[in-house]
Amino acid sequence: NAGVTQTPKFRVLKTGQSMTLLCAQDMNHEYMYWYRQDPGMGLRLIHYSVGEGTTAKGEVPDGYNVSRLKKQNFLLGLESAAPSQTSVYFCASSLGQFSETQYFGPGTRLLVL
Amino acid sequence: DAKTTQPPSMDCAEGRAANLPCNHSTISGNEYVYWYRQIHSQGPQYIIHGLKNNETNEMASLIITEDRKSSTLILPHATLRDTAVYYCIVRVDTGGGNKLTFGTGTQLKVEL
């Protein structure tokens, strides 16, 4: 079991460029989440998904889009990157609505110049 | 949403018990208390959770006061590898997704 994996590990973008972060889990979890973490702050929820084909907004969704076409994958897209999106992005998954535990990936470090 | 308050930092000697406090005075009756930790540059890791009763697992113990307004995470024999930021979280359940609201946590430093 690889658990939760994230691709890429690190990326540098110029302002206005687009990119997609990939999260994959092999635990057959229903729920998946994208968080961002900025220096000195806790994690903030961007978007989440309660199942294949569904997505919902979290605390800080502006500037991001997501898709969950397959149960095991959750994609986070930045259509036009801004320096304010420089952050560490973490993906997580959990078994279902009544599952207490979220399993996190190793993170993607994104720098927008 | 119930907010949590934690001290920003704590020190602990290796081999000693680390007791990390958390206040959650506005917690609702059906809200669980979760603890996660984040070792530098890694993704957060689940430690333990509880509702009313004290809980224990292979990693830690969770003591919740009778009025549920505060709790303490206990690492019984802290090691250098337990140095991390520890987050106390009260689960926000809006009926779709177990969304966790992370605060700034407690930076625990375990020293020789």
> Residue B97 — pLDDT band, cuts 50, 70, 90?
low
Contacts of B43 in chain A (CB under 8 A): 4, 90, 92, 104-107
Q: Do A31 and B98 touch (CB under 8 A)?
A: yes
Pairwise pLDDT comparison (B13 vs B29), residue with the higher score = B13
Pairwise pLDDT comparison (A90 vs B91), residue with the higher score = A90
Q: At a CB cut-off of 8 Å and minimum separation 6, what does B102 contact?
A: A35, A42, A43, A44, B36, B44, B87, B89
- Is the pLDDT score of B96 beyond 90? no
Q: Which of A42, A58, A94 sits opposite B87 (nearest CB)?
A: A42
Q: Do B96 and A101 touch (CB under 8 A)?
A: no
- Is the pLDDT score of B90 beyond 90? no
- Is the pLDDT score of B50 beyond 70? yes
As averages over each run of 10 residues, the pLDDT of chain A (113 residues) reads 92 97 95 91 90 92 96 97 97 78 94 97
Contacts of A61 in chain B (CB under 8 A): none
Whole-number pLDDT of residue B45? 94
The residues pairing with A11 across neighbouring beta strands, listed in sequence order, are A110
Whole-number average pLDDT of chain B: 90
> Residue B55 — pLDDT band, cuts 50, 70, 90?
very high
- Is the pLDDT score of B92 beyond 70? no
Q: At a CB cut-off of 8 Å and minimum separation 6, what does B65 contact?
A: B71
B57 touches chain A (CB under 8 A): no
Contacts of A68 in chain B (CB under 8 A): none
- Neighbouring CB atoms inside 10 A of A48's CB total 26
Q: Do A103 and B105 touch (CB under 8 A)?
A: no
- Report the residue of chain A nearest B100, measured CA to CA: A45
Print the SS3 string covering B25-38: CCCCCCCCEEEEEE
Decide if B72 contacts B62 (C-beta within 8 A): yes
Q: Do A107 and B41 touch (CB under 8 A)?
A: yes
Whole-number pLDDT of residue B94? 55
- Reported as a single tens digit per residue, the pLDDT across A12-28 is 999 999 999 999 999 99
- Please give the radius of gyration of chain B, using alpha carbons only, rounded to the nearest integer: 13
Whole-number pLDDT of residue A78? 96
